[in-house]
């Protein structure tokens, strides 16, 4: 890879605190640009509620076109109560679902690593958290969020809502391969999470994962029902290395795993599978604190590190960002979501500036 080539980044701030944390992400990118001699072209685009307000749709064609011309995409967050009453096809979240689909982003990587300085801030006991470093690989473009039939109708005089869990062999195989490849680069243990005791789609999931496992003899494969996995994430999270699971289960389990780290504001994610990766924090738009300089920008800044690592192959730059976050936390600086009672939190901008200074 030629480091002197300009890297084109589309940033979609979105709604609520997405705009505030996106600002901090841009500052980090510019600092890395200066420190390492790169050139980044950053273009802003609209999706979600912001796009609805301006264009009447959650995902304008202009946004799709710009994203397809980019080398990577950064997303803040979308949604909020302002748009809750819109019909399903106009929900802000439809913009992101559509973007993932149009770019072929079928694999979502959500790491949950415990910073030692945050162990005492977690709601769980410290001895449970020691050594926790896991990765959830979530299938992103199939399952119940996309299956047909779906919608609402009236049956026998009452309204009925329908969503359908659908998975094909090829969809399961490709996400399983992502999980096994990730496990090869880590500790070599893959846990496939399903509900095969009840769901036919999960029974197919398990059969295909077992078949794919034959291609990866150096990876230990475990199977776990999703309800047990939810319990084990709290009772014994250090047992997990890589978890691979469906769209719905991955959505729920990754949010649960975020609380191991002390706050959902800590977690980054990468959506991969096509030629262009999309990187975003796991948290939502938090409209209750939007515009108040209270949001935690670490999940967004850590997503920048994932972008450097997965889209550009900039491992040194990614490590520099990760290390800067760790140094700031080690120095006991905390945003409001990480504070204990009686502590004095710092704001979004102050946290961003501290991370910049530690780069």
316 is catalytic: no
310 with 292: CB under 8 angstroms? Answer: no
Give me the residue label for tokens 């950053």: 42
Which residue is catalytic, options 82, 225, 255, 293?
255
Give me the residue label for tokens 């801030």: 121
Structure tokens at 100: 């993932």
Give me the residue label for tokens 């850590």: 302
121 with 336: CB under 8 angstroms? Answer: no
Q: Which of 103, 48, 273 is nearest to 182 (CA)?
A: 273
Left, alpha or beta for 105 (phi > 0: left; psi -120 to 50: alpha)? Answer: beta
Which residue is catalytic, options 53, 120, 227, 343?
227
d(CA 94, CA 126): 39
145 is catalytic: yes
Which residue is catalytic, options 15, 91, 145, 167?
145
Angle between helices 169-184 and 200-213 (to 10 degrees): 50
167 is catalytic: no
Which residue is catalytic, options 241, 251, 322, 337?
251
The alpha helices in the chain, defined as continuous H runs, are 18-36, 49-55, 61-68, 92-103, 126-129, 169-184, 200-213, 226-235, 247-258, 298-310, 315-330, 348-357
Query: Omega of the bond prior to 149 within 30 degrees of 0, cis?
Result: yes
d(CA 289, CA 299): 16
177 with 212: CB under 8 angstroms? Answer: yes
DSSP conformation class of 247: H
255 is catalytic: yes
227 is catalytic: yes
Which residue is catalytic, options 195, 216, 294, 337?
195
Q: Which residues are marked as active site?
A: 145, 195, 227, 251, 255
């Amino acid at each position: 890879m030629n480091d002197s080539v300009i890297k084109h980044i589309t940033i979609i701030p979105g709604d609520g605190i997405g705009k505030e944390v996106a600002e901090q992400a841009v500052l980090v990118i510019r600092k890395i640009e200066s420190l390492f001699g790169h050139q980044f072209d950053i273009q802003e685009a609209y999706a979600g509620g912001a796009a609805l307000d301006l264009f009447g749709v959650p995902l304008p064609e202009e946004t799709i076109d710009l994203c397809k011309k980019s080398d990577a995409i950064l997303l803040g967050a979308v949604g909020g109560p302002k748009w809750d009453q819109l019909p399903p096809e106009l929900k802000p979240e439809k913009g992101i679902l559509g973007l993932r689909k149009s770019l072929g982003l079928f694999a979502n990587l959500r790491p949950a690593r415990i910073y030692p300085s945050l162990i005492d801030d977690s709601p769980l006991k410290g001895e449970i958290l020691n050594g926790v470093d896991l990765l959830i690989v979530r299938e992103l473009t199939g399952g119940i969020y996309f299956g047909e039939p779906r919608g609402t109708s009236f049956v026998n005089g009452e309204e009925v809502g329908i969503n359908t869990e659908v998975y094909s062999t090829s969809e399961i195989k490709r996400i399983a391969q992502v999980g096994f490849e990730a496990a090869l680069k880590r500790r070599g243990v893959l846990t496939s999470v399903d509900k095969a005791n009840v769901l036919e789609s999960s029974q197919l999931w398990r059969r295909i994962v077992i078949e794919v496992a034959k291609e990866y003899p150096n990876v230990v494969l475990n199977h776990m029902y999703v309800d047990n996995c939810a319990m084990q994430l709290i009772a014994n999270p250090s047992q997990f290395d890589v978890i691979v699971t469906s769209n719905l289960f991955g959505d729920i389990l990754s949010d649960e795993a975020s609380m191991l780290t002390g706050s959902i504001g800590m977690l980054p994610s990468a959506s991969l599978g096509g030629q262009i990766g999309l990187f975003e924090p796991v948290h939502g738009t938090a409209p209750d604190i939007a515009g108040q300089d209270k949001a935690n920008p670490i999940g967004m800044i850590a997503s920048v590190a994932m972008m450097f690592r997965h889209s550009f192959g900039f491992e040194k730059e990614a490590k520099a960002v990760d290390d800067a976050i760790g140094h700031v936390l080690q120095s006991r600086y905390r945003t409001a979501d990480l504070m204990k009672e009686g502590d004095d939190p710092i704001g979004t901008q102050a946290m961003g500036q501290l991370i910049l200074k530690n780069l």
